[in-house]
Structure 1
Amino acid sequence: MKYFIVFCFIFSIGNAQEVAVLKYRGGGDWYSNPTALPNLIAFCNDNIDTNIKENVQAVDVGSIDIFQFPFIHMTGHGNVFFSDDDAENLRKYLLSGGFLHIDDNYGMEPYITKELKKVFPNKEVLEIPKNHPIFSSAYEFPNGLPKIHEHDGKAPQAFGIFHEGRLLLLFTFESDLGDGWEDQEVHNDPAEVREKALKMGANIVKYAFEN
């Protein structure tokens, strides 16, 4: 209980609109898509009345520093490993009001699925229905998560972990939103594809800040 009170206090006095990238162990490239979050922040500040700091920090999953950020983004292509202390710290962060968006950049799914069991041993990762507010918080996505990049020809899926009715963790799979947020010349995505990715990203940010 002592930790819970302290962590809530950090949320209440900190800068309300800051986002960070989650740094983790295991060998996966947590630092991939370096232009993604800055571009998403610029889009949100221009279009959904946010005032997010443009400087994106990297925070270690096991550090108390994660409690300074109401929204944390995680991505990569490969292995993820959480120690028991990492898992406990992340669990406290999420239960204290934080939000984590995990965007599979391709190849992350089998590793993160296993590690999330350490974070919430008694909770299931559930597919999020298309009528969930995260698909309409700023822009309408009646068909759910948009497809941004093709990898294995599978449909995009959005999964989540809920606690007392609140979505506290979003895992986007077979969509690759982060690639759509990057500078245009990185992947040469058409403007309409990048806009779709940025609008879905804005929905996630808005939902995270307001719930």
Structure 2
Amino acid sequence: MKIFTVFLILLSSIFVNAQQVAVLKYNGGGDWYSNPTAMPNLVQYCNENLKTQLDKEVATVEVSSIDIFQYPFIHMTGHGNVVFNEADIQNLRNYLLSGGFLHIDDNYGMEPYLNKELVKLFPQQELIELPSTHPIFHSYVDFPKGLPKIHEHEGQRPQAKGLFHEGRLVLLFTFESDLGDGWESPEVHNDPPAVRKKALDMGANIIKYVFTN
């Protein structure tokens, strides 16, 4: 009954405030606020190219807040430590099971801290690497090799992993790619236009997939 009630809250919020996305504020000392221009730029790109009507103001929401259910798409990033307490875990799990979607983009260094927290979120599941044939890589622009590489860092291959509930992708974790850096304004990282476009195209793929599946 509780999950059903949460579902109704999320469903009503989709109709009332369907076009706003949010950045997740979490505890542990990690810089959840990194890449401040990334999501606003992605929103603008999607509005221009996908013809979405996303609110240009990107919200900030805390993991344990009931406000999380207002946003069908939530983005999380950072470089360091992540800690979810029991209230965070319960709230985030309810959010995902009732129709929400969380995209976590490792801004380099987040993965080892995040993995131990995701085990708490879905103890019976493991992150599954998405094959290059998954629709999320083809919903707007085709990425035949899967997740693109935006920043090198340690030179490892980019990976996109997911958690599923009843066949639905509810959480996407992208790392060794650094999409968020590619979404940032040009002067922040001085990425070539082609690299930024590749990052934004993949971001548009994620947005389109989430809002049409």
Q: Same fold judged by TM-score > 0.5? A: yes
C-alpha deviation, 1:12, in angstroms: 2.3
- Which residue identity lines up with residue 105 of structure 2 in the other structure? D
Secondary structure in 1 matching 2:196: helix
Identical-pair percentage: 68
* Aligned counterpart, 2:203: 201
- Partner Cα separation in structure 2 for residue 129 and residue 111 of structure 1: 24
- Which residue identity lines up with residue 8 of structure 1 in the other structure? F
* Aligned counterpart, 1:93: 95
Say if 2:176 is the partner of 1:174.
yes
TM alignment of 1:1-211, pairs within 5 A: 1=1, 3-14=2-13, 15-211=17-213
Secondary structure in 1 matching 2:29: coil
C-alpha deviation, 1:5, in angstroms: 2.5
TM-score for both structures, normalised by structure 2: 0.97
- Partner Cα separation in structure 2 for residue 49 and residue 92 of structure 1: 30
TM-score for both structures, normalised by structure 1: 0.98
- Partner Cα separation in structure 2 for residue 137 and residue 17 of structure 1: 19
- Partner Cα separation in structure 1 for residue 102 and residue 11 of structure 2: 18
- Partner Cα separation in structure 2 for residue 112 and residue 82 of structure 1: 9
After TM superposition, the structure 1 stretch with the greater mean CA deviation from structure 2, 6-15 or 161-170, is 6-15
C-alpha deviation, 1:139, in angstroms: 1.0
- Which residue identity lines up with residue 146 of structure 1 in the other structure? P
- Partner Cα separation in structure 2 for residue 70 and residue 114 of structure 1: 25
- Partner Cα separation in structure 1 for residue 71 and residue 96 of structure 2: 11
Unaligned runs of 5+ in 1: none
| Aligned length in residues | 210
C-alpha deviation, 1:7, in angstroms: 2.0
- Partner Cα separation in structure 1 for residue 187 and residue 70 of structure 2: 32
